[in-house]
Amino acid sequence: MYIYLTSGTGEFMEQVKNKYPDEHMILLHGEGNSVLIHETEGKSVFATPRKFEVLDSVNELEERGFFVFNNIPVTDEGRPVFEHRFLNRARAIEDEPGFVAFRLLRPLNGDTYIVMTQWNGPHSFEAWKSSQAYKTAHAQREEPTGVRQQNIFSAASYVSTYSVAPQEEEA
């Protein structure tokens, strides 16, 4: 399975989505831009997408709610370690109230993985961030004595958030 992302104005992304009604696409709106997700086994219909392979998934992505993209730049040497850690995680997030879906996305170009989670709304995501499951998932790993911790990240990670409904302009 693959996920392709493209971004632009909400109006243009809506036109692209409407042009391909048989494709599984979800239009997301964030601060300053909109993103169109195309999840498929085949090729993308986008002209210049960001391309990802889905390494792990939980549940179907739905056209509702709140999406969080944790963008994590990983070195080439660090990819196997990063993927191993994520594929062997505790999976406690899946039992959190308001959790909808999860995708671990490996970039086909570039170095930035995306850990995509979908929630019922921003309050569900914020509640998870305050939970014991979050603290456990993000605790520092203890390395065996004498083993130098390898820096697998090529830059700082950053989070992008999106809603399926367009955000209201502040007055």
- For the chain, give the number of residues: 171
Burial environment of residue 162 by CB neighbours within 10 A (0 to 12, 13 to 18, 19 or more)? buried
The pLDDT assigned to 163 comes to: 96
The pLDDT assigned to 43 comes to: 93
Dihedral, CA atoms, 52, 54, 57, 62, nearest 10 degrees?
A: 50
The pLDDT assigned to 149 comes to: 52
Q: Which domains does the chain have, with CATH numbers?
A: 2-137+151-163 (3.30.70.100)
Distances, alpha carbon 76 to alpha carbons 73, 149, 154, in Å: 10, 16, 9
Q: What is the pLDDT of residues 84-133, one digit of tens each?
A: 988 887 788 888 999 999 999 999 999 999 999 999 999 999 999 998 87
Q: Which residues of the chain have pLDDT under 70?
A: 140-150, 166-171
Using DSSP's 3-state secondary structure scheme, residue 36 falls into: strand
The pLDDT assigned to 44 comes to: 93
Using DSSP's 3-state secondary structure scheme, residue 92 falls into: helix
Pairing of strands 25-29, 112-119: unpaired
